[in-house]
Amino acid sequence: MDFALLKDNNIVKTLAKAFEQGTSVNSYVLQCEKQLADNLLTWVADVVLCKNNGCNGCLTCRKVFSGNHLDVFRLPNKNKEKNTDKMEIADVRFLLEEEEKRPVEGDKKVFLINACNSLKGVAVANWQNALLKTLEEPHKNVYIFIAVENAQGLLPTILSRCQVLTSEKSKASDVVDYLAKLGCAKKLCQVATLLCDGSLPKAEEVVSDVTYLGALEEIIQALKTTTSTKNALPFVALLNNQKDNVDKYWEILTAVLMQTVDYRLNEDKFVLDEWKEEIEAICANYSIPAVLAVVELVEQAKKDIDSAVNFSVVIDNFVADVLEVKFRCQI
Ligand SMILES: [Zn+2]
């Protein structure tokens, strides 16, 4: 993940403004994707400590970015003799002791808690309860940031004492620009933009896994060429061969179908430019009501597989139902 890119993250911008205008509070919950948490926390610490709100050029910035700033503390504390990335009471005790001491380099201290892996398990309430008092009566120049994927996983008592900021999704055009900078080929770039739903880590996952592009081509081909039960066998075979991988195929199938709707109604959301002709052919096969009905059939098929209905029976029924819907909802 490109570290510099996070300077434009809405959380970083919001905090830079708050610290500049003197409207900041002492405790924040940052809701973001797990893959972004560590880097986002680094930026946030920099915004607090750098005299220019994160200029990326001064000595403070260099120290924060290289992990050498003496007033920045990361938790859970990995230096301890333990083998877990989860928050423990010992981590909170460390924080409580450390916040009593004066800052070394400037006038503020920053505690960065990556709690993405700390919201499950039996002891999940313990570290949070240990934190409550300091969140309630914060030290003047001590700032605490707690990064989580889903803020609802935190205790309500923690949430009510913090300001919650949520990282926004990236726009499709930003994802395309980002992937182009990584040197991605056009087709791969479009598949990743389609499937990532504004998540740059997910976009990176798609471009690093070559099977996504192949699967997309297969699905497009199947939707284009399967016109009746007479020629449905390749579609059935395609899905039947993906027993261990079927979620990926469902995901792509739904995304491609929804692209045919965007192509017709919402062109600024259409990203599969490289497959325009194929998408047009699929549009000719499936009316918009048919597309929406097939998307529902996908959800039903997923549920059936989860409830242990025989896999190939689910696939057979799915393809038969798709063709039925296609016929029923003709343009
Ligand atoms: Zn700076």
286: domain CATH number? 1.20.272.10
The residue type of 189 is C
Domain assignment of residue 174, yes or no:
no
Domain assignment of residue 120, yes or no:
yes
Ligand 1: centre distance to CA 66 (Å): 13
Ligand 1: centre distance to CA 3 (Å): 15
In whole angstroms, give the CA distance from residue 284 to residue 295.
17
Ligand 1: centre distance to CA 46 (Å): 7
Ligand 1: centre distance to CA 26 (Å): 20
Ligand 1: centre distance to CA 47 (Å): 8
pLDDT at 250: 97
Ligand 1: centre distance to CA 102 (Å): 21
Structure token digits, residue 329: 């909802």
Domain assignment of residue 138, yes or no:
yes
pLDDT tens for residues 181-211? 889 999 999 999 999 989 988 999 999 998 9
Domain assignment of residue 173, yes or no:
no
Task: Give the CATH number, domain containing residue 17.
Answer: 3.40.50.300
In whole angstroms, give the CA distance from residue 130 to residue 95.
10
Ligand 1: centre distance to CA 134 (Å): 28
Domain limits for position 295: 210-328
Ligand 1: centre distance to CA 39 (Å): 16
Ligand 1: centre distance to CA 212 (Å): 40
Ligand 1: centre distance to CA 49 (Å): 8
The region, left, alpha or beta by phi > 0 then psi within -120 to 50, assigned to residue 54 is: left
Instruction: Locate all alpha helices (DSSP H) within the chain, ordered by sequence.
Output: 10-21, 37-49, 59-65, 89-100, 124-136, 156-159, 172-181, 186-196, 200-208, 211-225, 233-240, 246-265, 276-285, 288-306, 311-328
Do 18 and 116 lie in one domain? The reply is: yes
Domain assignment of residue 156, yes or no:
yes
What is the DSSP pairing of strand 142-148 with strand 163-166?
Answer: unpaired
Do 244 and 104 lie in one domain? The reply is: no
Domain assignment of residue 315, yes or no:
yes
Per DSSP, 227 falls in state -
Residues near ion ligand 1 (Cβ under 5 Å): 50, 52, 55, 58, 61
Domain assignment of residue 271, yes or no:
yes
Mean pLDDT over the full length of the chain: 93
pLDDT band at 5; cut points 50, 70, 90: confident
- Residue 127 and residue 92 in contact, taking contact as beta carbons nearer than 8 Å: yes
Question: Number of structural domains, the chain?
Answer: 2
pTM: 0.78
pLDDT band at 174; cut points 50, 70, 90: confident
